[in-house]
Amino acid sequence: MAGMTLGRAWQQMSWFYYQYLLVTALYMLEPWERTVFNSMLISIVGMALYTGYIFMPQHILAILHYFEIVQ
C-alpha cells in the first residue's frame, strides 16, 4: 500500500515537473542550461523569501505605527 502511494506521488511530481518544463519552455534547453536556469531561479526565490522574512515585519510595524493602529 505504501509503495503504491509513493509511486503515485512520484508520478504526480514527474507530471508537475513536465508541466513546469512546458510552461517555461525549458524543454528546449540543453541539460546544463536547464540546470543553470533552475539554480538561478531557486537562488532568486530564496533571496526574496529570506528578505521578506527578515524585513517585512519591520516595515509592517512601521506602517502600523504611522497610521497609529499600534501605539
Element (H, E) at 5: helix 2-24
Element (H, E) at 63: helix 31-66
d(CA 16, CA 39): 18
Measured CA angle at 7 (ends 5, 13), to 5 deg: 100
**pLDDT tens digit sequence for 29-62:** 999 999 999 999 999 999 999 999 999 999 999 9
pLDDT value for 71 = 75
DSSP state of 68: T
53 contacts 59 by C-beta, under 8 angstroms = no
DSSP state of 25: T
**pLDDT tens digit sequence for 19-33:** 999 999 999 999 999
